Structure 1
Amino acid sequence: MKDGQVREDYMKDGQVREDYMKDGQVREDYMKDGQVREDYMKDGQVREDYMKDGQVREDYMKDGQVREDYMKDGQVREDYMKDGQVREDYMKDGQVREDYYYEG
């Protein structure tokens, strides 16, 4: 991949790979089985139709922060959110850090 697009191996066993994001673009094949729409990102923001079947709420992003209702049914790891904000290691300068998800 070039131009900082997400590699097709974005997800492996429910973890985000270190090459998830670069330069704020997401490939249209971000996830398999059409779970993420090809218009996932627009101008560095997540579109309200980010995922189908209500897996991500249309208010996913607000002012560059992920809302506390980002995911339903505990699909996001319990340490993903802290006080309704994304963990401090989630985002850095608008990019996803390679330690976004980790075991332990």
Structure 2
Amino acid sequence: MWRILDSRVVPPRLFIKGRYIGGADAVVTLHEQGKLLQLLEGLPRDQSTSPCDGCGGMCFILCYNCNGSRKISPDGSDDGLSVQCPQCNENGLLVCPMCC
């Protein structure tokens, strides 16, 4: 990865309840030792078994500001001038506020 990205890449780091747990290797080791679940005790779990009512389990919804077009009129008029929507991502989507 360092060669491909032409820089040093820091592997993922896990924090639980504000405490640094470690990188990927440390997390795998804790899981294999059966200690990871102990660290997660007391944290809320997602108990639902059905997809989200807002996004159907996709975790994204169509932007309510531009309806997914990525373009909005800066002054609200239909004069043909538009700017890039500041609310959504490059695909015209928002992270689902109900489940994510």
> TM-score, normalised to structure 2's length?
0.20
Whichever structure has more helix as a proportion of its residues is: 2
> TM-score, normalised to structure 1's length?
0.20
**Larger radius of gyration, structure 1 or 2?**
2
The higher relative CO (CA closer than 8 Å, separation ≥ 6) is in 1
